[in-house]
Chains A and B, each alone.
Chain A
């Protein structure tokens, strides 16, 4: 009974009990999905159906549901965050799909992001990269210099902000054929490299963050640019180039 506002869909979803057991694709049929619903609201509806049938619901990561927390993370029909650009999965709406569509839903697939359960993966590697150097070493004092004592050219501040807009979702890694985290790390390195506050530790920062990135098992960058295409926040490849320059300069010091 699919009217124009509602559609029926077939779902092929990756189910995996935990990190140790093998997973497989399961098929579900879901009727009467409002096209105004978000993709995650559609999964809520599926889970309600599963619970009512006393089956185990599908585990997936999500929190803010407005595209900023970076927690949601699905590979939908072969694309990170699904068939739209500049959005996270929680901002994907069912109006992007047609009645009777079959939709494949998989977790991020990358060596450095092991599956925890179903569609939930472990992205703590990103945290550890940040802990290796993604900060300015300034203690809380309340007596740092006045915020306006150091003017920052608007152009630099804007570029730093654009890099800092990264939400750490991992779509760049998931979509990269090499499983590279260079866009994520490049964005963080760039934010600080562009600001006077970050310049003091720039050398050590880029060396430490890149070292940690390699230790976590992320692949290398071969400039395919897939990460930039799928990044929900439009983080530019320029950030990878800037990180490479920073890294080269730091290595030569």
Chain B
């Protein structure tokens, strides 16, 4: 099958408008005859389910958590971008479009990204109308801040809880539809397979996680909004339950999986503390507005800090290496995430890391300069033109607390250190996956009737996502793209009638699920699911992590293949099928992570260039920056499943054309 991205003709700024104007519609009286399934209730899923419910379709929404409000979008901290130009600093739709394409290292589709920038303003309008309490200034208007990879202030926020407030907004819209009976909600349900009839997506098999019952649900279209696959690394900033299963199951049913090797390693997370660690905690990128990143200039200082003989506050200004400001003066601490992460790794690999853990991996994020400067500004604003040092520090800390209070508190609870007094210790961690299910311009996968939205698709962020863009994409897909494109698809379904579930297709899909569950519960192994998940995570982090090379990636492919065989032989899953069984849930998810992990390594291997988050050590310039190969790799790599041997997956290429942006080397210097 050839890949048709279905990008509309015309000038970039007119494509979406023209396309929308010519999509087919479903009349209001026909919509109640049509069923739509939405899997996942994060920003993309909740907004899609709410919008389609408002329109009058019968919507069934599924989440594995105990409430749709708990989807992991809730944890996004820093903000959401929109080209409103409220700060009058030269922002525009074109600039947001340009920044996002450049930030993605010229590996995203122009038309999709421009559409994202076009609807960004509508998202803010919609959220405010829903009662989302964004931060405001004293004039009562919305406040903005800066994020990495931009030189304007276009990020809207609600303290360090922007994702929470946006998700609760979408959840309120979804709750309204549930209350009105337009959406039927299935909490604590996990999708375990897709059902296809005559090649089209026609339903899902889901497990009721409380009773263990295997359920059949049919629909005329299925939307997958199940998030990203960062948990393939075991340790990540994702929630414990975040998984690839829904996306992977549709892949196995024929949906191509695009750019799996594009993973975002976020520069500012709390470093690892020990072997029992279950997850990593992000410290929002917004902190890089105010914090300066550094390590000691002298190795002996770094050693003394690790040995506990020296405190960071005792290191003189001239003995600190603010390496981002040194290497990237134009953007400084606000370079994109992939650049900041690699720079931290470079310093730590060179022996300047400051964390006293197994790997010495950690750098400082220091707020002392900001506390002083903002304290002074606040004193002046209050009419005190001769503040004492104590007054300055006190006012500065208050300023920082108002902006980042919850993040500072979170840091202190985890580390037992007070970041108002001593710099935060941070290190990169797996955070977001740009790769995902391949979709066309309509967000439809290679399976007709199966749409994919939010982090679960591959579409908008290229090889690196800019901060505050994930929330934007999730809501854009759910509120402003899918309602149009899904309706266009459903226009041909008004005569179809209810899809029956007592058919051989549903029988087969249900059998696949039950066989898999029975296998795990009857396996005569001795090792826990987590044992294998951690082993997979180790391979992934060491060989498919921040720095990759041909040898490591080849080894990873083989090691994961071997690990997968051992997993099936040795895993032990307690309990039974007809009860709440978290170990069984984990086993089914890890089985899919194993296959995905292998494909990620294969994708990294074939991509013989460095771009964004994909850094192949063989392809870098003299200063250690990524070296793209636009001649040979300016394509989306979309993989087609060919049976349980992942090595047999077939790569298809969608060539990327840059008509409206001049492709260039990414430069933040």
Q: Which A residues fall within an 8 A CB radius of B? A: 17-18, 34, 36-38, 40-42, 44-45, 48, 51-52, 54-57, 59, 61-71, 84, 86-87, 91, 93, 95, 116-117, 120, 122-124, 126-127, 130-148, 150-154, 157-158, 160-161, 164-165, 167-168, 191-192, 195, 197-198
Contact = CB atoms under 8 A, between A and B. Distances in A.
A116 B125 contact: no
B135 interface: yes
A144 B129 contact: yes
Given A70-B69, A147-B134, 5 more contacts: A38-B278, A64-B70, A71-B70, A137-B176, A147-B124
Contact of A130 (B158, B172, B479, B483): B172
Contacts of A167: 164
B129 A51 contact: no
B364 interface: no
A124 B66 contact: yes
B198 interface: no
Contact of B281 (A34, A41, A66, A197): A66
Contact of B530 (A48, A70, A87, A117): A48
Contact of B277 (A41, A63, A137): A41
Interface string B549-591: 0000000000000000000000010110001101100000000
A69 B582 contact: no
A168 B69 contact: yes
Interface stretch (B46-54, B346-354, B455-463, B540-548): B46-54
B404 interface: no
Given A34-B274, A66-B75, A131-B179, A126 B67 contact: yes
B574 A51 contact: yes
B126 A140 contact: yes
A59 B582 contact: yes
A211 B373 CA distance: 51
**Residue among A61, A139, A197 with max Cβ neighbours from chain B (10 Å):** A139
B574 A57 contact: yes
Contact of B134 (A55, A133, A157): A157
Task: Name the prevailing secondary structure of the A interface residues.
Answer: loop
B72 interface: yes
B579 A147 contact: no
A129 to B, nearest CB: 9
Nearest to A66: B281
B119 A142 contact: yes
A134 B137 CA distance: 26
B165 A161 contact: yes
Contacts of A34: 273-274, 276
Q: Which of B133, B416, B572 has the most CB of A within 10 A?
A: B133
Interface string B411-425: 001101000000000
B75 A69 contact: yes
Contacts of B127: 147
B136 A157 contact: yes
Interface stretch (B96-104, B139-147, B218-226, B632-640): B139-147
Contacts of B128: 144, 147, 150, 197
A103 B414 CA distance: 20
9 contacts: A18-B579, A65-B239, A70-B69, A117-B210, A124-B187, A127-B187, A131-B176, A147-B121, A167-B164
B90 interface: no
Contacts of B136: 151-152, 154, 157-158
Contacts of B528: 48, 51-52
Contact of A62 (B47, B51, B140, B240): B240
A237 to B, nearest CB: 20
Given A93-B414, A148-B86, A153 B140 contact: yes
A114 B54 CA distance: 32
A120 B139 CA distance: 46
A197 B130 CA distance: 7
Nearest to B170: A140
What 9 pairs between A and B have smallest CB-CB spacing? A151-B140, A131-B179, A142-B122, A135-B172, A161-B133, A144-B129, A147-B128, A135-B176, A140-B51
A124 B66 CA distance: 7
Contact of B65 (A17, A18, A63): A63
Contacts of B152: none
B47 A140 contact: yes
A70 B138 CA distance: 31
Contacts of A138: 126, 129-130, 173
Contact of A95 (B159, B409, B410, B416): B416
B141 A148 contact: yes
A154 B86 contact: no
Given A56-B575, A91-B413, A140-B483, A134 B278 contact: no
Contacts of A198: 131
A142 B480 contact: yes
Interface in B33-56: 47, 50-51, 54
A165 B65 contact: no
B323 interface: no
Given A67-B410, A140-B483, A59 B574 contact: no
A148 B72 CA distance: 28
Nearest to A57: B583
B54 A139 contact: yes
B378 to A, nearest CB: 16
A154 B137 contact: yes
Contact of A41 (B74, B276, B282): B276
A86 B409 contact: yes
